[in-house]
Structure 1
Amino acid sequence: MFTGIIETLGEVADLKKEGGNLHMTIATPLAQELKIDQSVAHNGVCLTVVSLDETTYTVTAIEETLEKTALNTLQVGDQVNLERAMILGSRLDGHIVQGHVDQTGVCTAVDEKDGSWFYSFEYDPATKNPTIEKGSITIDGTSLTVVDSARNSFSVAIIPYTYEHTRFNTYTVGTVVNLEFDVIGKYVAKLMGS
């Protein structure tokens, strides 16, 4: 389980395909604090550390993960939002994030407004994933509050700290992102539909 509060950015150092799997090597000072079998969220996708050294570590994404997320768009040199699993008993600064991406979305607008940024996203409504104004959404692992909500789109406001310390400063119209919708909202929506 995660909180959606990004700890640091990593850089994709190597990508290796093996059958339907993708082995991703990430360069980050965080590597010194990791261990084999530890869960780390990569742009919101929970993956297990399978090898490491002092400056890099490697995780493996299976074919299903690659089909449902934007990890398959990563290239060597790209930045990745990183968060280690939360420690039981710690503060929950963001919201409950599972690291299980529901689907991808596409950035449709980026607007700067007096030192902050508003980003708009669209997603396939066929999955019936809900957003509500002032509700929570996770974009590439970052816990955010929905500003505007529609059937298959929403927007979020980004403060300068988040802009500078996450991948948001690289997003442009057309950028594909990982979306994890609020777990409580998903359960309520499923119960109401039953």
Structure 2
Amino acid sequence: MFTGLVEAIGRVRSFERRGEQARLSLEIPFAAELEMGESVAVNGCCLTVADIDQGGASFDLLGQTLAITSLGDLTDGAIVNLERALRAGDRFGGHFVQGHVDSTGSVLALEERGQDHIFDVSLPPEIAKLCINKGSLCVDGISLTIAELGEDRARFWITPHTFAVTHLPGLKVGARVNLEADLLAKHVAKLMAGMSR
């Protein structure tokens, strides 16, 4: 379980395709504190530490992970958002994030507005139906509040702090981003679908 509050940013050292799978190696600021088998959210996708070395760690990506997320788009030197799993007793400042990416969207806009930024993301239908105005959506591992909700897009206002401590400065229009809908919304939607049968 994660919160969507990005702990640090990392850098891709290598991305190696291995048939339908891949091995992702990252430069990680807190690598010395990691343990084998630990969970780390990388751009919002929960990955398991498969190898640790000085200054970094590596993760094995399943074929399903590559099919559902944008991790397959990563290139050497790319910046990624990182968050370690929530520990019992930690403050909980974001929202419940599982690190189980539901789908991807595209960056439609990322523009400076005064000291802040507006960030527009396209939403596939299966995600849009789970979103509400002022609700939460996890975008590339960042817990964000939906400021404006359209039929197939969401707008977020990004504070200077969030912009500074995440990978957002390097994002370009058209880039794919990982989306995880609110956990409570997914459960309610499933329960309601069952009641309507």
Separation in structure 2 between the aligned mates of residue 161 and residue 190 of structure 1, nearest angstrom: 36
Deviation at 1:128, TM superposition (A): 5.8
Structure 2: segments with no counterpart, 5+ residues: none
The Cα of 1:54 is off from its aligned counterpart by: 1.9
TM-score normalised by the chain length of structure 1: 0.96
CA contact (8 A) 2:128 2:153 kept: no
Name the counterpart of 1:138: 138
Give deviations 1:139-175, integer Å, cap 9, x for gaps: 0000110111123211111001111110111122211
SS of the equivalent of 1:29 reads: coil
Which residue does the alignment assign to 1:156?
156
8 A contact 1:80–1:167 mirrored in 2:
yes
- Conserved? CA contact 2:123–2:152, under 8 Å: yes
2:10 alignment counterpart = 10
Task: Write the distance in 2 (CA, Å) between the matches of 1:137 and 1:128.
Answer: 10
Which region of structure 1 is more displaced relative to structure 2, 1-10 or 110-119? 110-119
Which deviates the most, 26-35 or 124-133?
A: 124-133
Is 1:178 equivalent to 2:183 in the alignment?
no
Structure 2 contact 25–59 (Cα < 8 Å) conserved: yes
Q: How does 1:39-58 map to 2 (within 5 A)?
A: 39-58=39-58
Q: CA RMSD in A?
A: 1.2
Preserved contact between residue 8 and residue 29 of structure 2 (Cα < 8 Å): no
| 1:1-194 to 2 correspondences below 5 Å | 1-126=1-126, 129-194=129-194
Deviations 1:44-66 (A, max 9, x none): 00000011112111001101110
Instruction: Give, in whole Å, the separation in 2 of the partners of 1:126 and 1:189.
Output: 11
Give distance in 2, aligned partners of 1:74 and 1:142: 17
Q: Which runs of 4+ in 1 moved over 3 A?
A: 126-129
> Comparing 96-105 with 116-125, which one deviates more in the overlay?
116-125
- Would you say how many aligned residue pairs link Structure 1 and Structure 2? 194
Q: State how far apart, in whole Å, the 1-side matches of 2:28 and 2:37 are.
A: 17
Q: What is the CA distance between 1:193 and its match in structure 2? A: 2.6
Q: Is the 8 A contact 1:129 1:181 kept in 2?
A: no
